[in-house]
Amino acid sequence: MERPPIRLNALATAVPAHVLGQGEVEAAAARVFARQSELFERLKGAYANAGIERRHSCVPLEWYLAPHGWKERQALFGEYAVALFQAVAERCLRRAGLGVEAIDAVISVTSTGIATPSLDAVLVERMGFRRDVARVPLFGLGCAGGVLGLARAAALARSAPGSRVLLLVVELCGLTFRMSDLSKSNLIATALFGDGAAGAVVSTAGGGPVVAGWGEHTWPASLGVMGWNVEDDGFGVLFSRDIPALVRERMAEAARGALAAMGLGLADIDRVVSHPGGAKVIVALEEALGLAPGTMAEAREVLRTHGNMSSATVFFVLERVLAGAARAPERYLLTALGPGFTAAFLVLERG
């Protein structure tokens, strides 16, 4: 018996209220890194070269100019993350034409804060989901969490045809900034990261693009490429300067392997929808996947207007691509990179 197709019934995004211009962020960072003025002078070009004009934050810029501990950070995370979860959940349900009672499972994805009970449990209570709704909190997937979360949602929907899975992704990257950390990685993080959330409804029922397949690849001996160091006052950002080079050297092979498992090749892909880790990463992805320079225009636009929102970002790109696509059938390859060091892939077909 042929399996019914898994469909992306609805997609939504949301951002918090505060807007931070790149120029004002640079000026604030100059104050924070005054004790490392030589490092700041050497690296301040990152603000101009990041391809970012503005970002959204759940807290005002002044918050970043004072020290904060774990307790305060996690209290803010719980407050603002659940509020953004609710915003995207309500938008997804409205766009799918569903009520909360129709949802059979909720998958929540984040890597920038912790909560127990998990965020999805708080949302179930706040929005009145069914008491038998299945909850699947996912933590630690980093920037790859959006694509991998969508893959997990599709797998869950496939295992129970007709069920409806609500995927929710939130990252409050700004809350991880520690003014006591005067490292190069933390400085670069101030030039890149923003806050945002996204959601999707996935099911074998209803309409929408088809989730045709998914895959991932974790490279050996790569645990130090990207992630968090747990410090006394919060998460310490960890990422390697070699990420663009790793993308150029290894991404194509990983993509070919994932696509081959789906019976596809790179030539079968009409559009690449990628998480824009940064301006240099976008260029490296275009080179690795054989795309003409400038092809990934939507990724650059999301980076320009929102920065790197970790796992949520790829859905902002997808939202733009789907809105601007022609009605003719297209096949999209969603990609993202995260701690592990892991490449995530998902193929979406629009008929």
pLDDT digits (tens, 9 = 90+) for 99-141: 999 999 999 999 999 999 999 999 999 999 999 999 999 999 9
Higher pLDDT, 326 or 270: 270
User: How many angstroms separate the CA atoms of 257 and 92, rounded?
Assistant: 32
| Structure token pair of residue 109 | 């994805």
For residue 61, the tally of other CB atoms under 10 A from its CB is: 16
Among the residue ranges 3-12, 137-146, 225-234, 255-264, the one predicted with the least confidence is: 225-234
Among the residue ranges 44-58, 99-113, 181-195, 244-258, the one predicted with the least confidence is: 181-195
Average pLDDT over residues 45-52: 90
pLDDT (0 to 100) of residue 96:
96
Among the residue ranges 37-41, 131-135, 342-346, the one predicted with the least confidence is: 37-41
User: How many angstroms separate the CA atoms of 199 and 123, rounded?
Assistant: 13
pLDDT (0 to 100) of residue 187:
85
Highest mean pLDDT: which of 10-19, 62-71, 238-247, 268-277?
10-19
Annotation marks residue 143 as catalytic? yes
- Entry pTM: 0.95
What's the whole-number average pLDDT of the chain? 93
For residue 68, the tally of other CB atoms under 10 A from its CB is: 18
174 pLDDT higher than 90: yes
pLDDT (0 to 100) of residue 325:
65
User: How many angstroms separate the CA atoms of 71 and 276, rounded?
Assistant: 31
Which DSSP letter does residue 84 get? H
37 pLDDT higher than 90: no
Report all structural domains of the chain as residue ranges with CATH numbers, in order of start.
7-203 (3.40.47.10), 210-350 (3.40.47.10)
72 pLDDT higher than 90: yes
Given the residues 58, 92, 143, 173, select the one marked as catalytic.
Answer: 143
Which own/partner pairs from 230-235 qualify as long-range (CB within 8 Å, at least 24 positions apart)? Answer: 231/178, 231/181, 232/70, 233/67, 233/68, 233/69, 233/70, 233/178, 233/180, 234/68, 234/69, 234/70, 234/73, 234/175, 234/176, 234/178, 235/112, 235/176, 235/178
CA-to-CA separations, 240 to 60, 120, 184, in angstroms, rounded: 28, 32, 10
pLDDT (0 to 100) of residue 138:
96
329 pLDDT higher than 80: no
User: How many angstroms separate the CA atoms of 225 and 338, rounded?
Assistant: 9
pLDDT (0 to 100) of residue 226:
87
Average pLDDT over residues 226-248: 85
Question: By C-alpha distance, which of 90, 89, 107, 111 is closest to 172?
Answer: 111
326 pLDDT higher than 70: no
